[in-house]
Chains A and B, each alone.
Chain A
Amino acid sequence: MTSPVEAKTSAALHERAPARDEVRSMRIPVAILILICVVAPFLIYPVFLMKMLCWALFACAFNLLLGYVGLLSFGHALFFGAAGYLAAHAAKVWGLPFELAVLIGTATAAALGLAVGWLAIRRQGIYFAMITLALAQMFYFFCLRAPFTGGEDGIQGVPRGKLLGLLPLDSNLTLYWVVLAIFLFGFFFIFRVVHSPFGQVLKAVRENEPRAVSLGYRSDQYKLLAFVLSAALSGLAGGTKAIVFQLASLTDVYWTTSGEVILMVLLGGLGTVFGPVVGAVVIVCVESFLAQLGGWVTVVQGALFVVCVLAFRRGIIGELSRVLRRPL
């Protein structure tokens, strides 16, 4: 007798064809997303949009881990913030061009992801969350004291530089297209990973880890690779954000940032393709509308967490996909 969970696991492992169907059914929503991204800068202030894109990429990277492997990391601010510091430092102190600075940030995040993931996957479930949170807090204290981070001030006045040494990025609109390209690269990369055979194994590990192991998959290696990928893409988002806003600060490595990205993914829809993007857009908007209310932003965020967990666990896109009866 196979339990529903086991049946689902084998399904996730063996049915490659539905994954292909799913990819095909995504064409229209993806086209809509790209269209919105192309039209938006002519209607809305590009810097605001770039903030959304950076957070959306960060949320997508986080969703790769929570939504598809079922690992809740409470320390993703570490990768986001560390990449920000490194990219800002590379651009300002070493005078490197935009793309190298962002790449250095991404590589740092990947390396840190390898170290943190290697430690954290030794424990499962709830302990995993606590370990990642604790390691991120350790890194926060390190950044607070390390000489190159500028302590409470952060790294300010980071030059945007030129893309490939040719294209100056001082204009917000030019920079927007570059950031959009980075976002779309990350988005499609994650989309591809999730719908690859590798992604199917990740889902199998999420649904029933002992069974995936019994089928011969080394779940720890799959988890670690997913963790490193997620960390690197978070770094890509963090590094880009630091250069766009010309600032790398302690806020980006603090646990509140980890909480924010979790909320985005939860609100948008765990394990959905578009959920993190929608969640990021909503949260960035809510935060900027509530900015004049000061401290109440935290209260609203907390209340959103409570509401999402109690009554809205599928998230916006999850509910929408249920109504439309198609994966989104």
Chain B
Amino acid sequence: MTTVFGVPIQALLSQLLVGLINGSFYALLSLGLAIIFGLLNIVNFAHGALYMLGALVAWLLLEHLGIGYWPALIISPLIVGLLGAVIERTMLKRIRGLDPIYGLLLTFGLALVIQGVARNYFGVSGEPYDMPPQLSGGKNLGFMFLPNYRAWVVLVSVLLCALTWFVIERTRLGSYLRASTENPLLVQAFGINVPRLITLTYGLGVALAALAGVMAAPIYRVSPLMGSDLIIVVFAVVVIGGMGSIFGSILTGFALGVIEGLTKVYYPEASSTVVFVIMALVLMVKPAGLFGRTA
């Protein structure tokens, strides 16, 4: 059997795949955080809770209305995105212009509320969510076994990231968005409805998190706490990558997922802390983050 540094290649590749999947979620979440931060100047602490809510809504749809995975993939982000728009309109709007610390504290409070309600309703242990029958099973590639669902998650995440990048960098809407990030007052003077753009952006960023949540549901269990530790890792990812660049957040997300996967193979004790260690190292060498502009 082929081995790489004493580890069978099958084990290595399957951990790499797991890492790539985690990386997909890191990338989707940090992408949403970066977009929201760019326009609202708020670090959305509720991102993890809304990711969880995405998975939870999908589970509720299946359990109570019999609506399966495929429709949930659309409906759940829509519901969470709408909730995000409501949150933006009723709360975040009022603290615009204040120290960004208040935005972090407000969204932290929202995260506690969402998680607390979900926990009371749902318990802490979580519920399994079956994967869609079309994607069960897997392929034997000769050198490794590739579960279909996991391949699907990575594929969709890459496509979504590419799509988001395209919308922001190459379309008219994206140009409005980038312009508003630079100078909202001037953009508004040109007759563009910036407040609506902000609501839309928050809704969209949050919907991305919810979509990641739906995709995560069949892999992990649907549990009220699935987002709370994840968001901290994503924060570390964001510190490493810097929130200035869309492409940077995507790349950093995937890369750190893979590194985490590799650590799980070679030094499993450190797998939960490796991202934080890398963050500390990056801060020592390049304090502004790998893709960041100096803050």
User: With contacts defined as CB atoms under 8 Å apart, how many contacts are there between chain A and chain B in the complex?
Assistant: 128
A–B Cβ pairs within 8 angstroms, 23 of them: A70-B101, A72-B104, A119-B280, A122-B287, A123-B295, A126-B104, A127-B239, A127-B295, A129-B104, A131-B283, A134-B232, A134-B279, A138-B276, A142-B273, A295-B119, A298-B116, A299-B116, A302-B108, A305-B110, A306-B113, A309-B95, A309-B102, A310-B91
Please, which residue of chain A has its CB at the minimum distance from the CB of B90?
Answer: A310
Name the residue of chain A whose CB is nearest to the CB of B117: A299
Do A134 and B102 touch across chains, with their CB atoms under 8 A apart? Answer: no
A86-130 to B contact mask, C-beta < 8 Å, 1/0: 000000000000000000000000000000000110111111011
Q: How far is the CB of B287 from the nearest CB of chain A, in Å?
A: 4
A123-B239, A141-B272 given; A303·B232 CB < 8 A: no
Contacting pair A298 B280 (CB below 8 A): no
Query: Is A294's CB within 8 Å of the partner chain B?
Result: yes
Interface residues, chain B, with chain A CB atoms under 8 Å away: 37, 43, 91, 94-95, 99-102, 104-106, 108-117, 119-120, 228-229, 232-233, 235-236, 238-239, 269, 272-273, 275-277, 279-280, 283-284, 287-288, 295
Which B residues are CB-close (under 8 A) to A310? 91, 94-95, 106
Those 4 A-B pairs whose CB atoms lie nearest each other, nearest first: A305-B109, A302-B112, A298-B116, A302-B113
Let me know if A295 and B120 touch, CB within 8 A: yes
Measured CB to CB, the nearest residue on chain B to A313 is B102
Give Cα A1 to B117, complex, Å. 52
**A9 CA / B123 CA spacing, docked (Å):** 50
CB pair B105–A305 under 8 Å, yes or no, is yes
Interface contacts beyond A70-B101, A313-B102: sample of 17 additional A-B pairs, CB < 8 Å, sorted by A: A127-B295, A129-B43, A130-B43, A134-B236, A298-B112, A299-B112, A299-B116, A299-B120, A301-B109, A301-B116, A302-B112, A302-B115, A303-B109, A304-B109, A306-B113, A309-B106, A310-B106
User: Which A-chain residue is minimally distant from B87 (CB atoms)?
Assistant: A306
In the complex where A123-B239, A295-B116, A295-B120 touch, is A138 in contact with B277 (Cβ < 8 A)?
Answer: yes
B120 touches A296 (CB 8 A): yes
**Distance between B83 CB and nearest chain A CB, rounded to angstroms:** 14
Q: Please determine whether B272 and A123 come into contact, CB atoms closer than 8 angstroms.
A: no
CB proximity to B under 8 Å, residues A8-39: none
In the complex the two chains form, is A298's CB within 8 Å of B104's CB? no
